[in-house]
Amino acid sequence: MFFDRITNAPHVPRAEAFLDARAMVRNPVRVFEKYRQRLGPTFTVHLGGGKAAIVSADPSFVQHVLQKNWGNYHMSDVRVRRMGEFQGQGLINSHGKEWLRKRRFLGEGFRPDRLAELLPMQEQVLEDSLARFHLDDAPAQIDIYQLMVGLTFRMGAKALFGSRMTDSEIERMGFAISTIQEFILRQIVQPYKIPWFRISGQSRRHQRLRIETEQIARDYIAARRQAVGDEGRDLLKFMLETPYPDSAEPMSEEQILIESLQLLVASNETSTVALSWTLYLLGKHPHFIGKIRDEIDAVIGTGPITFKGLHQLHLTLRVLDEALRLYPSFWVIDRMAVGDDEINGIHVPAGLTVLTHIYGMHRNTDVWADPEVFDPSRFEPESKKNRNPFAHLPFGGGPRKCIGSNMALMQMLLILTVFIRRYDFELASAEPVEIDPMMILRPKGAIRMKVRRVAD
């Protein structure tokens, strides 16, 4: 009916998509943005000339997929399979009734009151982590991305497994998880190489890393199950001690292992890149650093940092929201249509890959004036009032919105508060930092910054 077209949406000619295949592997955002500028916010394309997909940067289209008819749109099969191979079948890659059961159960662990109890331990971990980098000793030039990797992974690991987890265990887990995630990404981006990965032994090597990482987590789960009077307020304690409400049965140790490691991977990556881009933008717009420091002094002062106080840092929150608009951690959310659907007059056939192009939606001029400009005032209450809530999706949207978004936000506000209150910083180079968009919108290369202690 549509000849070489996939559906009735504007279409990228198949020959053009084939010629763009190498550029798509290197930087899919740049290719999608080229198509969006020419065809509008919603278009179809044969990815690399092969797999059919519909791509949308239209908030109403995205809202339909992620919220209004979310049950018709599952995570793509390739991601489910590749994640399942190394991470098991957990909340992130489940569907249907089992997903809903896990979601309701784990959601209790991220309630604001539980996070508030977790905050003092998180602050202590942050202080210990900063001391390891010796930033107070002298003016230093550092890669802010690598600093954030170290801070967020330590905080995430101890939030999940407890404050007794050692630095050596954290470093071993961090190396293994990072290596495995890179390998999963290679399989998703280049699935035609999977047979070679298996023949060459790469799959076996990464499976051995997975087993070593899981053993560290298994040992903590077993020890915590046997502990008496443990005072930890971490998420492992919650999963071990809280039964499912529908059965009064606890979660199995195997499922606790899967869920805790999946949460660790997801929370670490999103917080790391979000904080890195936020500090990069503050380095480009340094007048906001002083304003944020003044807000911290006015709201928190010299008193203890509290969960409530962090969420009263309104300017800091607006700066973070604007950074996540320009550099969303998840630049695209992939889904597959289970059944036929129609969205805004566009036919979506069953089985079609649907890509919600968050990066493009955050730059859609139908929603955002001067979208390339860093302007935190976009998130003042009056400015937000008439905007589609799905126009800004730093943590996804709908029922499958990131379950750890509240904890990620708490950690990011805590790190920004401590870091900005204590340090002055500036970019070491005027050269722009490019994006490296794979599953996560990482910086391409280092974000070099000069850091020095604020004079008392």
CATH classification of the domain holding 375: 1.10.630.10
For 89, 114, 151, 153, 156, the CA distances from 264, given in Å and listed in that order, are 15, 17, 13, 8, 6
CA 147-87-226 angle, to 5 degrees, is 85
The single-letter DSSP state of residue 88 is: -
Identify whether 8 is part of a domain.
Answer: no
User: Within a domain: residue 42?
Assistant: no
Instruction: Provide the 10 A C-beta neighbour count for residue 408.
Output: 24
What confidence tens digit (pLDDT) does each residue in 369-397 have? Answer: 999 999 999 999 999 888 999 999 999 99
Q: Is 79 helix (H, G, I), strand (E, B) or coil?
A: helix
* Per-residue model confidence (pLDDT) at position 416: 97
The Cα 352–Cα 348 span in angstroms is 7
Backbone angles phi, psi at 2, to 5 degrees: -105, 15
Please check the confidence at residue 449 and state whether its pLDDT lies above 60: yes
pLDDT average, residue stretch 424-428: 94
Tens of pLDDT, residue by residue over 287-346, are 999 999 999 999 999 889 999 999 999 999 999 999 999 999 999 999 999 999 999 999
- What was the pLDDT predicted at 1? 40
| Residue 357 to residue 309: CA distance in whole angstroms | 34
Average pLDDT over residues 52-77: 94
Q: pLDDT at residue 269 above 90?
A: no
Helices 287-299/405-422 angle, 10° precision: 100
Distance CA 270, CA 181 (A): 13
Is position 10 within any domain?
no
Provide the residue range defining the domain that includes 126. Answer: 57-453
36 found inside a domain:
no
Give the CA count within 13 Å in the CB-facing half-sphere of 37.
Answer: 6
For residue 23, tell me if it sits in a domain: no
Q: How many domains does the chain have?
A: 1
